[in-house]
Amino acid sequence: MHRCLSKSAGTPTCLKSQQFNFFEFLILRKAAFTGSFSYIRLMTMQKTNHWTSTDNKLIGVYSFTKFTAAMSFVIAVGRESEKSKHHPTVHIRHRIVELELTTVDQGNTLTDLDYTLADKIERLYAPFLKQILLVSED
């Protein structure tokens, strides 16, 4: 059984990536009742993009068709990080980029700064993903 976060005329309408299984639905419901909305935000991020959470960090893993594309992405992330005044730890392994976000000033915890930057980074990846999909169709 799947639940969606959005409904239209009483009928769930959602993309497959937006569907939550019953266990996840119960966690979301509990989070909503307890006011712990970071759980809701994290679960939504895990369903819709490349981010996971571990040890008070958000970890995003992105793959590319070429090393130069990975480097271009890292430069774009760097520019956005400077605007946000919040910087990820960056690991580059050939065509794989791993980003770690945590707020050091708040005792290495996750804050809205981390989630907001992760959302911006996800949007930066969209053009690269489109390029990857075009290459895979050839």
Residue 110 near residue 57, CB atoms below 8 Å? yes
- Residues of the chain within CATH 3.30.1360.20 domain(s) are 49-137
pTM over 0.75: no
CATH code of the domain occupying 49-137: 3.30.1360.20
112-137 helix and 37-48 helix, angle to the nearest 10 degrees: 10
Mean pLDDT of all residues belonging to the chain: 76
What local confidence, expressed as pLDDT, does residue 8 receive? 43
What local confidence, expressed as pLDDT, does residue 15 receive? 42
CA atoms within 13 A on the CB side of 86: 22
Which DSSP state fits 103?
B
